[in-house]
Amino acid sequence: MTNRCRGCGAEVIWIRTTANRRKMPIDAEPVWVLPVSGGDTFLRKDGSIVFGRKIGDAWDDDPDANVIEAHESHFATCPVGGQFRNRAPRTRAPGYR
Ligand SMILES: [Zn+2]
């Protein structure tokens, strides 16, 4: 199921993570990830989590590379951010003490 981010209009896919069954948006466009323990967090469409390092197209030339197609959390990539989270606390009016 694809959707568009309300904040930036990017195409996102809502998945349910296998770890805690929470729904979250991921970028519809997949990236190649080299699994590395302690790396960044990526998600797969089945809701599983991959820890690794995002790699570029240079790895297309290496058929032996142990890379995984995964997706970045849209929380991390959204240029406007915060659109999925709870509203920020109201800022205080000028002069408020
Ligand atoms: Zn967005």
Cα angle value 86/92/94 (rounded, 5°)? 150
Whether 68 is in a domain gets the answer yes
Q: Which of 29, 39, 15, 38 is nearest to 72 (CA)?
A: 29
Distance of CA 94 from the midpoint of ligand 1 (Å): 31
**pLDDT confidence bin for 2, thresholds 50/70/90:** confident
Whether 96 is in a domain gets the answer no
For the segment 51-82, what is each residue's pLDDT rounded down to a tens digit?
999 987 666 666 777 899 999 999 889 999 75
Range of the domain at 20: 2-77
Whether 88 is in a domain gets the answer no
Question: How many domains does the chain divide into?
Answer: 1
Enter the tokens of residue 63.
Answer: 């058929």
C-alpha Rg value of the chain to the nearest Å: 17
Distance of CA 3 from the midpoint of ligand 1 (Å): 11
Distance of CA 37 from the midpoint of ligand 1 (Å): 27
Quick check: 94 pLDDT over 80?
Answer: no
Cα separation, 92 vs 97, in Å, equals 9
Enter the tokens of residue 97.
Answer: 């003490």
Residue found by looking up tokens 């989270």 in the block: 85
Whether 91 is in a domain gets the answer no
Whether 16 is in a domain gets the answer yes
Whether 82 is in a domain gets the answer no
Quick check: 91 pLDDT over 70?
Answer: no
Whether 89 is in a domain gets the answer no
Distance of CA 64 from the midpoint of ligand 1 (Å): 34
Quick check: 87 pLDDT over 70?
Answer: no
Distance of CA 78 from the midpoint of ligand 1 (Å): 4
Quick check: 83 pLDDT over 70?
Answer: no
For the segment 13-52, what is each residue's pLDDT rounded down to a tens digit?
999 999 889 999 999 999 999 999 899 999 999 999 999 9
